[in-house]
Amino acid sequence: MTAENQPRVRALEIKQNPAVNHGNVHHWRWLQRALADAVVDAVVDAVIVTTGRQAYRREAGLAVVPEALLGPSRNA
């Protein structure tokens, strides 16, 4: 299978907390394990949206993005 034809899964999780800790990524790890068993070549992109101020990447490429970076506030 070529890279263009790979099945792609994108996961999005929204947290009300500004920080993401080790315990907050358990759903992401579960999804990785489940897909590894079902679809060997799946490419998974995952983002946790938070109320924090900084965007960064955690282990295995998990992106943490503040909601403010997604677009303008409705109150603006």
- The domain segmentation of the chain, as residue ranges, is 3-70
In the sheet with 43-50, reading across from the earlier edge strand, the strands are 8-14, 43-50, 63-66, 56-57
Position 49 scores a pLDDT of 95
Q: Which residues of the chain have pLDDT under 70?
A: 1-7, 37-43, 74-76
The reported pTM is 0.73
DSSP assignment string, 1-69: --GGGS-EEEEEEE-SSS---GGGGHHHHHHHHHHHHH-TT-EEEEEEEESSS--EE-GGG-EEEEGGG
- pLDDT value of residue 69: 93
